Chains A and B, each alone.
Chain A
Amino acid sequence: MKRVQFEHSTIPYLFVAPQIAIIVIFFLWPAAQAIYQSFLLEDAFGLSTQFVWFRNYQDTIFSPSWLQAAGFTAIFATLVTFLSLGFALLLAVKANEVIRGASTYKTTLMWAYAIAPPVAGLMGNLMFNPLIGDLYKFFNVIGWDFNHKLDSFDAGFVVVLISVWKQVSVNFIFFLSGLQSIPNSVNEASMMDCRSPTRRFWTITFPLLAPTTFFLMVINITYAFFETFGIIDTTTRGAPGGATNTLVFKVFQDGFRGADLGGSSAQSVVLMILVLALTVIQFRFIERKVHY
């Protein structure tokens, strides 16, 4: 905080008022509604509601379809985070090494940031279209019996590939700027001490990038949990048989398409708790190992 500050009784409240008003109406109120509705059960016609304590939660967490979605989300988030971080780090290290064409590489690797996840999903959808999709044909030609409409592994492959593709550019931008902020003197000193570029990378450069990597892990897990909704909804829509349902997609499906408000709200609340827990864990256990 600032050493010098204004002392006023009302003016600061006027300044925060718009933000707080929006948060109260469009964040706290709906969040409270979700919690309240998660304890209610509507009858089939929506005529009467009943307070049922934790029954919606029990029905949610122990249902096979929710467990399946939770399992898929865990695998999906892990794969998307590590693959897109790894690929972006490789590209950033290489882009930082070259002199000729450096800015061209930088521009052509980062511009995909501006593409919306559902647009990426739709493009991928056409690439994997059985009628005209070249990727679909290619995989089948090289002997992979590829069919993402029927095979759950293939469907998972499609959503992971598109999600990684969409996320590489953000990670690349952060890694590259992290690399460029390492002082030249450090690089020169490490050149003197260690001849192997690979060892130099893992012992000097990578630890210096640790804060960036930690920050990006948080960003990427949030991305895999929430923003990939647009990709799932424009490609597999959870098919086949719910194998590519993420938790967020299931909240949406059960609430809007299935009109199961209580169950969907209970899922929302569980999801909020999961995300909060995940964030706390990341900050407590991983950040402690990162030296700034």
Chain B
Amino acid sequence: MSNWNWRLITTHAILIIGVLFMSLPVWVAFATSTHAPETILRDGLQIWPGGHFFETYREVLIVDGGVMKSVLGTTMLKNSMILGIGFAIGKVIVSMLAAYAIVYFRFRLAVPLFWIIFMTLLLPLEVRIIPSYEVVAGLGLLDTHFGLIVPLIASATGTFFFRQFFRSVPDELLEAARLDGATAWGFFVDILIPLSKTMIAAILIIMFVVGWNQYLWPLIMTTKEENYTLVIGIKQIYQILAEGGELPQYQKAFALTILATFPPVLVVLVFQNWFVKGLVESEK
């Protein structure tokens, strides 16, 4: 019996160490963001929250976006939202349509088109970043929402996800629908989309997080500060911090880090079950 007890204690100890390892950095970032800059510079990072929460966050959100002066936290928040939501919705629409064609139709170019789509999975945007930039710049799409979002949709993760799901839908449904005289569009809208509701929700959540967290592409795509997303904006702040100068505003840097982290984390926590299901189902 005592053997069993020890095992249980070690198990919990390992899990608690894991939880601390994963959570402590973010907690410290939050706690530090609620202190005055002098305190941080004098005493280093903080483990307990201080009294400057409202002051710091108000300043970052609506007075000036940290150290840059010209862009507000709320503007960056809005840009991040547009990127996250636009990317998620665009991806779901484009990939559902493509997956529907690939699974439910017999047509001549099905196989080559499938392989072209598959190839995008293996070669992410990062390896062809400079020619991609040139193409988008050539089309005059720099600093536009369209140019920011659409090239990111080129990777076919969503298409594979829906392809797997559609293949698991029983064949009898289509047979029955066809007996009732359903058209291709009718079957898609009236039967397949309602059936896929949970899957659509799951992939929307995952893609929102993926879109929100984009880094390299927005970094080279946006030249004007008013188009910065939070992930890009905080980077600029750290750069300014690194260059030194007046009293470093570490608390604002931490506050923006927390703002950049909070929305996607909240989405994942609230929709945890859908999110996990979506992530794991896409593997099969």
Binding site for B on A (CB under 8 A): 1-9, 11-13, 15-16, 18-20, 22-23, 25-31, 33-34, 37, 87, 90-91, 94-95, 97-98, 101, 105, 107-119, 122-127, 131-134, 137, 165, 168-170, 173-174, 177, 197, 212, 215, 222, 226-227, 229-230, 233-234, 248, 251-252, 255-256, 261, 264-265, 268, 271-272, 275-276, 279
Contacts and interface: CB of A to CB of B under 8 A. Distances in A.
Contacts of B253: 122, 126
Contacts of B104: 2, 5-6
Nearest to B150: A22
A81 to B, nearest CB: 17
Contacts of B124: 222, 226
11 contacts: A8-B107, A11-B101, A31-B128, A33-B135, A105-B18, A108-B23, A110-B276, A132-B41, A134-B44, A233-B216, A272-B123
Contacts of A91: 14-15, 18
Interface stretch (B50-58, B70-78, B167-175, B196-204): B167-175
| Most central of A30, A33, A268 by chain B CB within 10 Å | A30
Contacts of B231: 116, 118-119
Contacts of A116: 212-215, 231, 260-261, 264
Contacts of A27: 119-120, 123, 128, 154
Nearest to A116: B213
Given A29-B131, A123-B257, A127-B28, 4 more contacts: A27-B119, A98-B15, A229-B215, A251-B130
Given A124-B25, A234-B235, A2 B103 contact: yes
Interface in B102-117: 102-107, 109-110, 113, 116-117
A115 B104 CA distance: 37
A157 to B, nearest CB: 15
B269 A275 contact: no
Contacts of A112: 22-23, 26
Contacts of B272: 107, 110
A12 B107 contact: yes
Given A30-B132, A110-B276, A215-B283, A137 B44 contact: yes
A12 B93 CA distance: 15
Interface in B77-107: 93-95, 97-98, 100-107
A25 to B, nearest CB: 7
A233 B235 CA distance: 9
B248 to A, nearest CB: 8
B19 interface: yes
Given A19-B117, A19-B159, A115 B265 contact: yes
A108 B19 CA distance: 6
Q: State the 10 A-B residue pairs at the shortest beta-carbon distance, nearest first.
A: A116-B213, A15-B101, A12-B105, A30-B131, A33-B131, A19-B98, A114-B264, A26-B151, A12-B101, A230-B215
Contacts of B136: 26
A177 B276 contact: yes
A227 B217 CA distance: 12
A87 B25 CA distance: 17
Interface size bucket, B side? 35 or more
B107 A9 contact: yes
B11 A119 contact: no
Interface string B210-245: 001111100010000000000100110010000000
B40 A132 contact: yes
B156 interface: yes
B198 to A, nearest CB: 16
| Most central of B8, B23, B25, B265 by chain A CB within 10 Å | B25
B193 interface: no
A230 B220 CA distance: 13
A131 B283 contact: no
Contacts of B11: 94, 97-98
B210 to A, nearest CB: 9
Contacts of B255: none
A271 B122 CA distance: 11
Contacts of A229: 126, 215-216
| Most central of B101, B122, B238 by chain A CB within 10 Å | B101
Contact of A20 (B44, B103, B113, B126): B113
B130 A111 contact: no
A16 B111 CA distance: 12
A15 B98 contact: yes
Given A113-B268, A117-B213, A174 B103 contact: no
A22 B94 contact: yes
A4 B113 CA distance: 20
B191 interface: no
A14 to B, nearest CB: 8
A23 B264 contact: no
A186 B123 CA distance: 39
B261 A114 contact: yes
B207 interface: no
